[in-house]
């Protein structure tokens, strides 16, 4: 606040990933995921809200998935699913709670794997990276959302490719991925 004079956006991006099943997930990893995804999202946003309400075009953007209640996702890794869906539920709650104040709250999720260390180290190594898009696709989609008027764009769960298509981007090849891309967790294949 002292340095920049206000807060116009909050991006909840911090996350811990553990896709173990219920019987094999160590409680320490469960606690870490809920502390980062749920508590961290709640704490950061809660502390920023008094300042966001004074912002010119205030947005909360959480990197969390659409709520896909398919048993395939609910049963695959319940603890991680709960932590990520919890971020989305918090965000949708803030969209309703702060609509009258003009604070937008939306979630954004990648359609495909994103070339990150988590994908490489947990979801399949270099082979998974070759089926991933670059992080810039999510960054560009985030910017496109944050540029929208807060009063007109709130309460949504977006996929990155949908946001970019709405912004007129038709060629996604600059974002990489060779061959067939891997759909991300919680995203059903068409």
Asked whether residue 46 carries a pLDDT value surpassing 90, the answer given is yes
Asked whether residue 22 carries a pLDDT value surpassing 80, the answer given is yes
- Catalytically annotated residue among 80, 98, 113, 175: 80
Token readout for 167 is 């912004």
At residue 121, the pLDDT reads 66
At residue 134, the pLDDT reads 85
What mean pLDDT comes out for the span 134-156?
97
Token readout for 135 is 């992080």
At residue 117, the pLDDT reads 75
What mean pLDDT comes out for the span 41-60?
97
The more confidently predicted of residues 11 and 19 is 11
Report the mean per-residue pLDDT for the chain: 93
Cα 127 from chain centre: 23
At residue 135, the pLDDT reads 93
Percent of the chain with pLDDT over 70: 96
Q: List for the chain the helix, strand, coil content (%; round to 5).
A: 45, 10, 45
At residue 179, the pLDDT reads 74
Asked whether residue 128 carries a pLDDT value surpassing 80, the answer given is no
Q: Confidence band (pLDDT; 50, 70, 90) for 79? A: very high
What mean pLDDT comes out for the span 34-61?
97
pTM score, two decimals?
A: 0.93
Asked whether residue 148 carries a pLDDT value surpassing 80, the answer given is yes
Asked whether residue 156 carries a pLDDT value surpassing 70, the answer given is yes
Q: Is 85 a catalytic residue?
A: no
List all residues 6 or more positions away from 5 whose beta carbon is below 8 Å from its beta carbon.
Answer: none
Asked whether residue 122 carries a pLDDT value surpassing 70, the answer given is no
Q: Long-range contacts for 139-148 (Cβ within 8 Å, ≥24 apart)?
A: 140/164, 140/169, 141/108, 142/11, 142/61, 142/108, 145/59, 145/61, 145/106, 145/108, 146/9, 146/57, 146/59, 146/61, 148/104
Q: Could you give the domains of the chain?
A: 9-111+135-161 (3.40.50.720)
At residue 153, the pLDDT reads 98
Least confident of 45-59, 147-161, 174-188: 174-188
């Amino acid at each position: 606040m002292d340095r920049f004079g206000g807060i116009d956006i909050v991006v909840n991006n911090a996350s811990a990933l553990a896709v173990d099943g219920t019987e094999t997930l160590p409680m320490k990893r469960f606690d870490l995921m809920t502390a980062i995804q749920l508590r961290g999202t709640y704490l950061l946003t809660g502390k920023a809200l008094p300042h966001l309400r004074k912002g010119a075009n205030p947005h909360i953007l959480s990197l969390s998935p659409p709520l896909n209640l398919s048993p395939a996702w609910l049963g695959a890794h319940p603890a991680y699913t709960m932590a990520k869906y919890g971020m989305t539920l918090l965000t949708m709650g803030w969209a309703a709670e702060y609509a009258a104040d003009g604070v937008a709250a939306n979630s954004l999720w990648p359609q495909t794997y994103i070339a990150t260390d988590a994908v490489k180290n947990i979801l399949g190594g270099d082979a998974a990276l070759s089926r991933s898009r670059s992080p810039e696709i999510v960054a560009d989609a985030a910017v496109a959302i944050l540029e929208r008027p807060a009063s007109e764009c709130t309460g949504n769960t977006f996929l990155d490719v949908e946001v970019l298509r709405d912004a007129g981007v038709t060629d996604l090849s600059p974002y990489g991925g060779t061959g067939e891309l891997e759909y991300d967790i919680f995203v059903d294949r068409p």
